[in-house]
Chain A
Amino acid sequence: MPTKKAMTPAEVKEEILKRYPTKVARKRDKQFLVHEGPEAMQTKDIQANVRTIPGIITQRGCTYAGCKGVILGPTRDIVNITHGPIGCGFYSWLTRRNQTDASAPDAANYMTYCFSTDMTEHDIVFGGMNKLRQAVQEAYDLFKPRAIAIFSTCPVGLIGDDVHAVAREMKEKLNAIDPNHKVNIFAFSCEGYKGVSQSAGHHIANNQIFTHVVGEEMKRPEGKYLINMLGEYNIGGDAFEIERILDKCGITLNSSFSGNSTYEQFARAGVADLNCVMCHRSINYVADMMETKWGIPWIKVNFIGAKSTAKSLRKIAQYFGDKQLIDRVEEVIAEEMKNVDATLADVKPRTTGKTAMLFVGGSRAHHYQDLFKELGMRSIGAGYEFAHRDDYEGRRVIPDIKVDADSRNIEELHIEQDPANYNPRKTDEELKQLEAAGFEFKEYAGLIPDMDKDTLIIDDINSWETEKLIEIMKPDIFCAGIKEKYAVEKLGVPLKQLHNYDMGGPYAGFKGAVNYYLEIDRLVNSKIWSYLEAPWDKEPELSATYVG
């Protein structure tokens, strides 16, 4: 049989879009780019952060998931009460693998619990505020937590429950009862229908944490080179590995948003000297607000990939400009790279030349390409569920982004300098010097510049597109989430989950890179994929007959 000529990326796109009704095709066309090389891409924009097409079978989740599940979920000592029917609380109960270390004596850890007002028909009809008040009271009586957070779900906004009023009222009431035990109570209007995806929930979470917690405590902890790690959620222990490396270098982690975090860390975030942003999408709002309010600069870092980790550590050291730190960082990198290089030497011959596709959340579809590069693998397709144009094209496009009707109701906070505590961490002169040396503040170049010509960039990919891409382009590995995993694997292609890591990890830092190399080797070279066809299906005709 003559082999069919491989389709060009443009033909792949055309083949996929031709299935759609006209209106759908027109819309998907703008969310589906063929990479035409670095220069051509300077003038191309992708449509992102727009409403989901009904019935398309999207990967996306909702605002509640982005707020409660993603940002607030990983903090161990806040009692998170879901105000709604039982589902939302149930599904976000321990299903994201935000690990936490609560081993200190007396450490609170509520992450193993699911708290809900479990609204019933009665609450929908007569309002749920009384039940919410009572639930807060019961949570207080049972646990005496440092903080209680309330999360709104779909019906809450519709029936008009004022969760913020309940939070204020209960905070006042409970703090009057026992002045020795201060409890902070705040609420999030993160109804599932707001915005168009999890993204709105990130923004709402950023705003409320910033308004109610960040800056509450302005006392500087012990330690040199004080940084905050923003947008790192400790999936599978990633933050533990990053903490290990920072520790080894002598860099002090002041607070984490929000992997392995505590309430106190949020409260004292304002005293750090540098903000390091891992997941740009979910946390850039807090980074910007801290810069305005207290003068803390932020830089984009990436601890996914051994080389990226080294690069990020050097950036941090360069920022502080201290020779002792710069030298120590080089020592640590040299030491850690020994194991990384040894593993690569073993694995890379088996992974080189293979291809990957990544369709994940709002950040990892970019970061994980670095790990594949280290393995000698090419990323031939990538995209996000809910990222915005700046995550694809870089922050340079922010002034051109138009907020559409579906996202207009997500509040933008107006932040001003804190007269008492504003303190620019670097003088204008120092900033200029760093920038002249190639240092970039407040900058993220996005996913597209890091991808090669003739790759595909697809926003809000759906089931149809996933299946066709695999059928036509036959990648050696596909990276996505739990909903895609088993469908893709039925087609004979291994899927690496980059949300929950298939219960593996950590994948961040140096040890994480080693874990990832071994995992990808295991997946793309597994014997399993050779067993899919039964022997009798390979040769259905009988060529001989057994005569007994």
Chain B
Amino acid sequence: MTLLRHTSKEIKDRSALTINPAKTCQPVGAMYAALGIHGCLPHSHGSQGCCSYHRSMLTRHYKEPVYAGTSSFTEGASVFGGQANLLQAFQNIFEIYDPDVVAVHSTCLSETIGDDMPQIADKAVKEGKVPEGKVVVTASTPSYVGSHVTGFANMVQGMVKGLATKKDKKNGKINVIPGFVEPSDMGEIKRLCKLMDVPIILFPDTDGVLNGPLTGKHKMFPDGGVTVEELRDTANSMGTLALGEWGSSLAAKYLDSTHKVPCQILGLPLGLTATDSFIDALRKMAGKSVPAEISFERGQLVDVMKDYHQYLYRRKVALAGDPDQLIALTEFLVSLDMIPAHIVTGTPGKKFEERIREITKDVPYKVNVKVEGDMFMLHQWIKNDPVDLLIGNTYMKYIARDEDIPLVRHGLPILDRVGHQYFPTVGYKGGLRLLEKILDAILTRKDRDDPETSFELAL
């Protein structure tokens, strides 16, 4: 029996019912971003269910502690406003947990009733509920707008809005906003910048926060994360590289327009050509030459792409996920001469389809793209036109099992495998890992399906 037995081949138009979404809501993205600040406790201004759900999802994804406070709205607060709850929360959080920063985001509840969080935060400071030397940043993250990616972008912008402070002197650094990527990816971006000898401020930075060690000693606020000092200093950088338009452009544009820090918006550096663009932009912005180590890594990736091309050529892939990730993945698949056949994102944004069409214009296939689509739609497309490979989060395993198609887990959330928090998929090294995973999925399937007569030792 199939697990998604009610998904029919016949496609009927839907205008109101979303089935098996390819997105979730804003605050979890904001919570993730806030965890990328050193010494920060994220805070959810809403009823406590949201906060529990968001913490649970991130915990299941990372297998790491995820702390966050909540205003714990009751029915009374929902009618008369949540100011008292938030003021109380500030006092309790600082007295009991003593973070350096509290990063507050909202939910559909506090947004619908119209709570003014910056005003409440201001009042908290004036009333001494925020101790000297401690900081509060806020971001408005209504769940009924956009997706978790929007929430991430809003909180990243909230960080610089609340903290970036212009000084007379430039700091000689480049701001890098890594986008909604894994801690391992943020670590890889730092490594590449170090190899390039470019001093950067990476924000947010969850590396070391959501991929920590087990030592028997517990730090509620781990060593990782961008510091408040660094965030203040983002206003004095030479420029900003924003990776991933959906996740990073808001903050980059804010620094550009408010503090005259010029920005360049790129895609996520995932796959060969997108990593090329990142390294090239970094080189030009910082005025540095690319070291031999990086060219060597690039050459290794190209080498494997060549070695295993025969197993990739014209293989069809169905993908679901977040727009910045999907754009980069599609570009990578096209560079491998694969066919990204069906693509679905739950996150709204007009530019998405345009970008996908541009990347796939020479692909010999009419690519299906749906913005604000869902996995039910994707599954129906697959039933009508099967593919060789699926790339997406853990929820795709139900389609993978029903349709007997191999799945490469990528994106948020991955609830049933390890790796994403430790091994990057960005950069040339990440490209190599992603390619290995794709090949492993395809070749494992080949080994399973090949008849005994042509079962090969070497591939």
Tell me the A192-217 residues at the B interface (CB within 8 Å).
192-196
Given contacts A20-B96, A55-B69, contact A65 B53 (CB under 8 A): yes
Contact, CB under 8 Å: A119 / B144: yes
- Cα A382 to Cα B36 in complex, Å, equals 34
Find out whether the CB atom of A192 lies under 8 angstroms from the CB atom of B142.
no
B108 partner residues in chain A, CB cutoff 8 A? 84-85, 87, 119, 124, 153-155
A192 and B109 contact, Cβ closer than 8 Å, known pairs A121-B145, A124-B144, A533-B215: yes
List chain A residues, Cβ under 8 A from B145. Answer: 120-121
How near does chain A come to B67, taking the closest CB pair, in angstroms? 6
Judge whether B49 is part of the interface by a CB distance below 8 angstroms.
yes
User: Residue B458 at the A interface, CB < 8 A?
Assistant: no
**Contact across chains for B52 and A131 when beta carbons are under 8 A apart:** no
Q: How large is the interface on A (under 10, 10 to 19, 20 to 34, 35 or more residues)?
A: 35 or more
- Contact call A193/B93, Cβ cutoff below 8 A: no
Pick from B48, B63, B376: contact of A61, CB below 8 A: B48
B8 adjacent to chain A (CB < 8 Å): yes
Do B68 and A57 touch across chains, with their CB atoms under 8 A apart? yes
Q: Which of B15-23, B252-260, B281-289 contacts A (4 or more CB under 8 A)?
A: B15-23
Q: Is the CB of A59 within 8 A of B52?
A: yes
The answer to whether B52 touches A62 (Cβ under 8 A) is yes
Q: Is A443 interfacial (CB 8 A cutoff)?
A: no
Q: Known: A84-B108, A93-B395, A155-B144. Is A483-B17 also a contact (CB below 8 A)?
A: no
- A267-301: contact bitstring with B at CB < 8 Å (1 yes, 0 no)? 00000000000000000000000000000000000
A483 adjacent to B346 (CB under 8 Å): no
With A61-B52, A154-B46, A532-B216 given, is the CB distance from A90 to B59 under 8 Å?
Answer: no
Query: Shortest beta-carbon distance, A529 to chain B, in Å?
Result: 8
Partner of A143, one of B6, B52, B143: B6
Contacting pair A91 B65 (CB below 8 A):
no
Of A24, A153, A193, A489, the contact of B75 (CB 8 Å cutoff): A193
Q: Is B384's beta carbon under 8 Å from chain A?
A: no
- Which residues of chain A are within 8 angstroms of B1 by Cβ–Cβ distance? 102-103, 107
Q: Is the CB of A86 within 8 A of B25?
A: yes
The answer to whether B218 touches A115, judged by C-beta atoms less than 8 angstroms apart, is no
Residues of A contacting B8 with CB < 8 Å?
A: 142
Knowing A115-B17, A532-B215 are in contact, say whether A159-B72 is a contact too (CB < 8 A). no
A195 vs B75: C-alpha distance in the bound complex, in angstroms?
7
Contacts of A252 in B (CB 8 A): none
Q: How many residues of B contact A (CB 8 A)?
A: 82
The complex places the Cα of A110 from the Cα of B4 at a distance, in Å, of 8
State whether the Cβ of A149 lies closer than 8 Å to any Cβ in chain B. no
Q: A235 in the interface, Cβ–Cβ < 8 Å? A: no
Q: Would you call A261 an interface residue if the criterion is a C-beta within 8 Å of the partner chain's C-beta atoms?
A: no
Q: Whole-angstrom distance from the CB of A23 to the nearest CB of chain B?
A: 9
By a CB distance below 8 angstroms, the chain A residues around B17 are: 81, 115-117, 134-135, 138-139, 142
Query: Does B126 lie at the interface of the complex (its beta carbon under 8 Å from any beta carbon of A)?
Result: no
**Residues in chain A near residue B91, CB distance under 8 A:** 21, 55
Beta-carbon contacts under 8 Å, B85-134 to A: 85-86, 88-93, 95-97, 107-109, 112-113
**Cα–Cα, bound, A132→B24 (Å):** 19
Within 8 A of B (CB), among A122-140: 123-124, 131-135, 137-139
Which residue on B lies nearest to A499, using beta carbons? B56
Q: Is the pair B144, A20 in contact by a Cβ cutoff of 8 Å?
A: no
Pick the contact of A91 from B46, B47, B56 — CB < 8 Å? B56
Q: Does B14 contact A95, Cβ atoms closer than 8 Å?
A: no
A486: interface (CB < 8 Å): yes
Instruction: Say if the beta carbon of A64 comes within 8 Å of chain B.
Output: yes
* B16 touching A135, Cβ below 8 Å: yes
Q: Which of chain A's residues has its CB closest to B46's CB?
A: A154
Q: How far is it, in angstroms, between the C-alpha of A532 and the C-alpha of B216 when the chains are bound? A: 6
Question: Are A61 and B144 touching (Cβ within 8 A)?
Answer: no
**Contact string against A for B residues 215-227, beta-carbon threshold 8 Å, 1 for contact and 0 otherwise:** 1111010000000
Q: How far is the CA of A384 from the CA of B18 in the complex (A)?
A: 35
Beta-carbon contact of A406 and B90 below 8 Å: no
CA distance A85 to B346 in the complex (A): 12
CB within 8 Å of A: which of B156-191?
none
Asked whether any CB of chain A lies closer than 8 Å to the CB of B66, the reply is: yes
Assess the A406–B75 pair: CB atoms within 8 A. Answer: yes
Task: Indicate if B3 sits at the interface (CB-CB under 8 A).
Answer: yes
Q: Is B297 an interface residue (CB 8 A)?
A: no
Given known contacts A51-B74, A90-B25, A121-B145, is B20 in contact with A114 (CB within 8 Å)?
yes
Check if B75 sits within 8 Å of A194, measured CB to CB: yes
**In the assembled complex, how far is the CB of residue B326 from the closest CB belonging to chain A, in whole angstroms?**
18
A491 / chain B contacts, CB cutoff of 8 Å: 216-218
Cα(A91)–Cα(B90), bound, Å: 27
Please determine whether B66 and A483 come into contact, CB atoms closer than 8 angstroms. yes
For B143, what are the chain A residues with a Cβ–Cβ distance below 8 Å? 85-87
Measured CA separation A103–B3 after assembly (Å): 10
Bound complex: CA A464 to CA B95 (Å): 11
* A426 contacts chain B at the CB level, 8 A cutoff: no
Q: In chain A, residues 53-89, which have Cβ atoms closer than 8 Å to a Cβ of chain B?
A: 53-65, 81, 84-89
Whether B74 lies near A196 (C-beta < 8 A) is yes
Given A86-B143, A135-B16, A486-B59, residue A533 in contact with residue B74 (CB < 8 A): no
Residue of B18, B47, B60, B215 touching A117 (CB-CB under 8 A)? B18
By beta carbon, the residue of chain B nearest A487 is: B65
| A480-492 vs B, Cβ < 8 Å mask (1 yes, 0 no) | 0111011101111
Q: Which residues of A contact B55 (CB under 8 A)?
A: 483
With A57-B97, A121-B142, A155-B109: A52-B48 Cβ-Cβ less than 8 Å: yes
The chain B residue sitting closest to A112, CB to CB, is B3
Q: Which residues of B contact A191 (CB under 8 A)?
A: 78
Contact B95 A19 (CB under 8 A): yes
**Given known contacts A65-B53, A406-B74, A486-B63, A55 and B88 CB-to-CB distance under 8 angstroms:** yes
Q: How far is the CB of B298 from chain A (nearest CB, A)?
A: 36
Chain B: CB-nearest residue to A19? B96
Contacting residues, chain A, for B78 (C-beta < 8 A):
154, 157-158, 191, 193
B49 contacts A63, C-beta separation under 8 Å: yes
Check A467–B218 contact: CB distance below 8 A.
yes
Residues of A close to B49: CB separation below 8 A: 61-65, 88, 192
Q: Does A405 contact B (CB under 8 A)?
A: yes
Q: Is the CB of A463 within 8 A of B48?
A: no
Asked if B64 CB lies within 8 Å of chain A CBs, one says: yes
Query: In the complex the two chains form, is B69's CB within 8 Å of A85's CB?
Result: no
- Seen from chain A, the residues whose Cβ lies within 8 Å of a Cβ on chain B are 19-21, 24, 51-65, 81, 84-95, 102-103, 107-110, 112-121, 123-124, 131-135, 137-139, 141-143, 153-155, 157-159, 191-196, 405-406, 409, 463-464, 467, 481-483, 485-487, 489-492, 532-533
Can you pick out 24 interface pairs between chain A and chain B where the beta carbons lie within 8 Å of each other? A24-B96, A54-B86, A54-B92, A55-B90, A57-B97, A62-B47, A62-B49, A85-B143, A86-B21, A86-B147, A88-B53, A93-B395, A107-B1, A114-B20, A115-B18, A118-B18, A143-B6, A192-B46, A192-B109, A406-B75, A464-B96, A483-B52, A483-B59, A532-B216
Partner-A contacts on B (CB < 8 A): 1, 3-6, 8, 12, 14-21, 23-25, 27-28, 43, 46-50, 52-57, 59-60, 63-78, 85-86, 88-93, 95-97, 107-109, 112-113, 142-145, 147, 212, 214-218, 220, 346, 376, 395, 398
- Starting from the known contacts A91-B54, A489-B214, 8 additional A-B residue pairs (CB-CB under 8 Å) come to A65-B49, A90-B21, A91-B53, A113-B4, A142-B17, A153-B108, A193-B77, A485-B59
